[in-house]
Amino acid sequence: MKYVQGFIKVYTSFFRGTPLVAQLFFFYFGLPNIIPSLICITGFTSAIVTMSLNNSAYIKEALRGALLSVDKGQLEAGRSLGYTEKQVVRLIVIPQAIRVAIPALANSFVDILKGTSMAFTVGVIEITAAAQLYSASTLRFFEGYCGLILMYWLLVVILEQLLKLLEKRMNRSFE
């Protein structure tokens, strides 16, 4: 168990302590040099894998904080009422932890959406790449990047509203 915890600590430290672009380049351009079978992996797959590993380190910290926020007395109360360990986790810890975790998770979801623009660096044609290609071909850089910023802003505003609705719904049972 110590090895698992040690691995998780090193994993979190590595992915939080290095820039996403450097990780993307390392996984897409660097790793295939020493593992030739990775040459066939596309930029899209590489972006999904790298960004998932990167974001999981941040989300893990948010979830860990939420789990730690549940008072130990609640667990003891559950056990004293005759609940099994699984029931304590399922019925007492998780419902309270989710409620605490949602604001932090909302931030992570917004970061993920904005972070997809990094996939452009490994050749994925997403909206940043589309705006860049349009701007370069028409030489209308102001309009191109203006449209890009407006698009991201619109997406983030929609996502924020959805997450606020979710947060409200989760808090309803605690009011």
State in angstroms the smallest separation of the CB of 26 from another protein. 17
- Binding segment toward another protein, per CB under 8 A, in 31-39, 76-84, 128-136, 166-174: 128-136
Give the count of beta carbons closer than 10 Å to the beta carbon of residue 50: 23
The residue type of 113 is L
Q: Residue 27 in contact with residue 49, Cβ under 8 Å?
A: yes
Site map (CB under 8 A) of another protein, residues 18-37, x = contact? --------------------
For another protein, the closer CB: 22 or 68 = 68
For another protein, the closer CB: 33 or 129 = 129
109 binds another protein (CB under 8 A): yes
State in angstroms the smallest separation of the CB of 48 from another protein. 5
For another protein, the closer CB: 18 or 34 = 18
Phi and psi angles of residue 90, each rounded to the nearest 5 degrees, phi first: -70, -40
74 binds another protein (CB under 8 A): no
Q: Residue 20 in contact with residue 11, Cβ under 8 Å?
A: no
What gap in Å lies between CA 71 and CA 40, rounded to an integer? 49
Q: Tell me the two tokens of residue 100.
A: 């605490």
List interacting residues with another protein (CB under 8 A). 1, 4-5, 8, 11-12, 44, 47-48, 51-60, 62-64, 67-68, 89, 105, 108-109, 112-113, 115-116, 119, 124-127, 129-131, 133-135, 138-140, 142-144, 146-148, 150-151
